[in-house]
Amino acid sequence: MSEVFPQTDRLKVPQQFRQVFEEGRKQVGRYFVTFARPSQGGRSRLGLAVSRKVGNAVLRNRVKRLVREEFRRHWAFGSLDVVVVARTAAAEASRDALIEDLYRIWQRLANG
């Protein structure tokens, strides 16, 4: 499996994010809030929103890398457009706690 997270798997344009926020189902976890809606292209795509409230650039990038990696390696919940919004507490959390929170949220999304 390639270690690259391809551009085709990313939400990039503000309009794409807006559609997911407006039409998507919301799931709230301890470290993340996730919105998801069926994908138009038949392929799952990920968008990330990590504000400065989470921390400095190093912390924000750490959180984004972790979410992208878990999405790329373990996403198996159909073709959805997903936006993951990191909460402030994500900066303080361990890697394992962040991954556990993501899986819990993604399972709820998959189960409807």
Would you list the domain boundaries of the chain? 7-110
The pLDDT of residue 66: 93
Domain 7-110, CATH 3.40.190.10 — does that match? no
The pLDDT of residue 85: 96
The count of C-alpha atoms lying within 13 angstroms of the C-alpha of 110, restricted to the half-sphere facing its C-beta, is 12
The pLDDT of residue 112: 67
The pLDDT of residue 52: 94
Global confidence as pTM: 0.89
Say whether pLDDT at 1 is over 60: no
Among residues 12, 103, 100, which one has the least CA distance to residue 49? Answer: 12
How many whole angstroms separate alpha carbon 13 and alpha carbon 80? Answer: 16
The pLDDT of residue 35: 95
Residue 33, H or E segment = strand 32-38
The pLDDT of residue 10: 87
Residues 14-70 pLDDT 10s: 999 999 999 999 999 999 999 999 988 778 899 999 999 999 999 999 999 999 998
How many whole angstroms separate alpha carbon 10 and alpha carbon 13? Answer: 9
